[in-house]
Structures are given as C-alpha cells and as structure tokens.
Amino acid sequence: MAQTAFAALGHEGRLAVFRLLMRFAPHPVRPSEMAAALDLKANTLSGYLSDLTQAGLIHAKRDGRSLYYQVDLAACEGLVGYLVNDCCRGRPEICPQEASLSHTSPYRVLFLCSGNSARSIMAESILNTLGKGRFVAYSAGTRPNGAVHPMTLALLERNGHDITGLTSKDIATFQTEDTPAFDFVFTVCDLAASEECAPWIGQPLSAHWGLPDPVKVTGTEAEKALAFAQTYSQLFHRIKAFVALDDNRRIDGLSRLSLQAQIDQISES
C-alpha cells in the first residue's frame, strides 16, 4: 500500500488534490468545488481522484444525487506510521514524539475566512469574551473586504462584546517574521480552507469550521439579520465547546493527536 500511495502522491496534480482534501478533513468536498479551487478541468480532476482512490488515500461518498470525496484518515495514519516505524527503528533520538501542545500562555488563536467582515470577526470576538484571558483571538481574510459588515458590529454589540478596534485585515498581517506563533488556526469558510497558505510559525493545530456566509444572504432586512444571528449562534456553541477543552488547564495535558481529534469533532457537532 505504501508504494502505491507514494506513487500517487508523487504527481504534482494528484498531490494538490490530496492536500486540498486534507485541509477540509474530516469533511467531504464536491468535485466541482475542487475543480474551481485548483483551476482543473473536470476530466483531469476525475483522473486524479480515481488514482488517489485506487491508492487507498481517499474515498467517495454519495449524498442524494451529489458525490463527495474525503481523505481516508485511517489509511493516512497507517502510512505515517509506516514511515515513522521504518525511519526510527533503532534510532529513537530522531523519532517524532507525540508531545503536548507547546505554548506560552495565553493560547493564541487565529480565525480565517475570505472577507474577514462577518464570520471570522464574530469568532474573534466570541473567543476573546469566553476565553477570559486564557485565549487571545485574532482574525484575518484571504481576500479582506476592507471593512467589518455593519450587521456584524450591531449583532456583537447587542450580545455584549467589545467591538473597539475590530477591523478587516489581510492574512499577510500575521505572516511576517515578527508575528508570534499561533497555537490554533481555524478556517470558518470553504474558500479560505481551499486556498494555499504559507506554513505557520510554530506548527499550530488547525481545523475547518466552515459556515455559510451571512453577508451573501439576500431578502428582507429581517431575513439578513436572521442569517447573521444563526451564524453567531453556531460559532458561539462551537467556541464554547472549544474553551471547555481547557477546563482545569486540560489542554496542557492533551497530546497533539488527541487535541486535533477533539477540535475536528467540534465542527461536526
């Protein structure tokens, strides 16, 4: 299996598809979304998906009339285990350790979306409120709108959040040599998750907590306001569950693998 998997990943196009699916893992992705994100023709993408499926790295699932693909995490875990066991046999000094999260208190968390005008701004404000000093949250956009949406600010203010200093920022703001390392990076929209980003300093844990963009909702002012309120509610419950992971400083004692599994589960709840 290892030889087949390495051969499949040795092709630039197939590797790009696999990396895209891994950024969304454990969530599935439609072929049309992959083709748009990677600028691939449908028949080319179909060939790559077939090769990766035959290699056992991904699998397809059908939901009604729609077909989705997702990474086979168990197979990938086995592949990594094969590499570690082979490379580290008899040489424990170079064997990677399943260490706990390394950080300097408080935990630094970055929320990413495309426009940085609604979802990521809400998440930043919610975590800074619920985190009570144990977490410091920031947000940015891959294609920032340049201003926070007025409905975002009004909703946050009604819910008791401090909106002072909230701005729409480019992701590049947090990718300089002077940027302190983040402990967690969460994408809250599919577009941000599908885009390639430079490696983050400190190798933060990451997860995809995608939600529909309330800014794109059309209709009456009441319907738009409802979309913003629903987005806020979903983010509030996810972030509340995330903060609960650190009750009695439990995050310090969790391994990276265990913590990764738990932040992935939060997005599925």
What's the average model confidence in pLDDT over 156-162?
96
Q: Which of 76, 87, 88, 197 is catalytic?
A: 197
Report the mean per-residue pLDDT for the chain.
86
In a domain, residue 237? The reply is yes
Q: 118 and 223: one domain?
A: yes
Position 98 in a domain:
no
**What CATH number did the domain enclosing 67 receive?**
1.10.10.10
CA atoms of 266 and 213, how far apart (whole Å): 19
Residue 267 pLDDT: 80
Strands 58-63 and 66-71: antiparallel
Query: Residues 188, 68: one domain?
Result: no
What pLDDT does 177 receive? 82
Question: DSSP 3-state assignment of 55?
Answer: coil
Exposed, middle or buried by CB within 10 Å (0-12, 13-18, 19+), for 77? exposed
Please tell me the predicted confidence (pLDDT) of residue 145. Answer: 87
What's the CA gap between 152 and 139, in Å, rounded?
14
Return the pLDDT at 33.
Answer: 86
Q: Is 100 left (phi over 0), alpha (psi -120 to 50) or beta?
A: beta
Identified catalytic residue from 76, 88, 95, 113: 113
Q: Kindly state the percentage of the chain with pLDDT values over 90.
A: 49
Average pLDDT over residues 8-26: 88
Residue that wins the pLDDT comparison between 157 and 74: 157
Percent of the chain with pLDDT over 70: 86
Same domain, 50 and 122: no
Which stretch, 6-20, 22-36, 106-120, has highest mean pLDDT?
106-120
pLDDT at 258: 83
Number of domains in the chain: 2
The predicted pLDDT at position 221 comes to 94
Q: How confident is the model at residue 191 (pLDDT cuts 50, 70, 90)?
A: confident
Assess if residue 51 is contained within a domain: yes
**pLDDT band, very low/low/confident/very high, at 180 (cuts 50, 70, 90):** confident
The predicted pLDDT at position 227 comes to 96
pLDDT of res. 46: 93
Whether 63 shows a pLDDT value over 80: the answer reads: yes
Q: What are phi and psi of 174, to 5 degrees?
A: -110, 20
Q: Please tell me whether residues 158 and 182 are part of one structural domain.
A: yes
- Residue 19: inside a domain, yes or no? yes
Instruction: Say yes or no to pLDDT of 164 above 80.
Output: yes
Cα–Cα separations (whole angstroms), residue 127 to 25, 83, 90:
23, 37, 44
Write the CATH number for 169. Answer: 3.40.50.2300
Q: Please confirm, yes or no, whether 87 is among the known catalytic residues.
A: no
Task: Check residue 22 and give its pLDDT.
Answer: 85
* Domain assignment present for 250: yes
Choosing from 64, 91, 118, the residue where a domain stops is 91
Residue 181 region by backbone torsions, left for phi larger than 0, else alpha for psi between -120 and 50, else beta: beta
Range of the domain at 34: 2-91
Judge if 200 and 115 occupy the same domain: yes
pLDDT digits (tens, 9 = 90+) for 81-132: 766 666 666 554 555 555 555 555 799 999 999 999 999 999 999 999 999 9
Same domain, 146 and 208: yes
Question: How much is the pLDDT for 28?
Answer: 87
pLDDT digits (tens, 9 = 90+) for 198-255: 667 677 898 989 899 999 999 999 999 999 999 999 999 999 999 999 876 678 777 7
Residues 85 and 170 in one domain: no
Q: How confident is the model at residue 196 (pLDDT cuts 50, 70, 90)?
A: low
Same-domain status, 57 and 178: no
Catalytic annotation present for 76: no
pLDDT grade for 3, boundaries at 50, 70 and 90: confident
Identify the sign of the CA torsion 10, 68, 43, 53. Answer: positive
Start-to-end C-alpha separation, the chain: 33
- In 3D, which of 52, 63, 53 has the Cα closest to residue 30? 63
Residues 26 and 157 in one domain: no
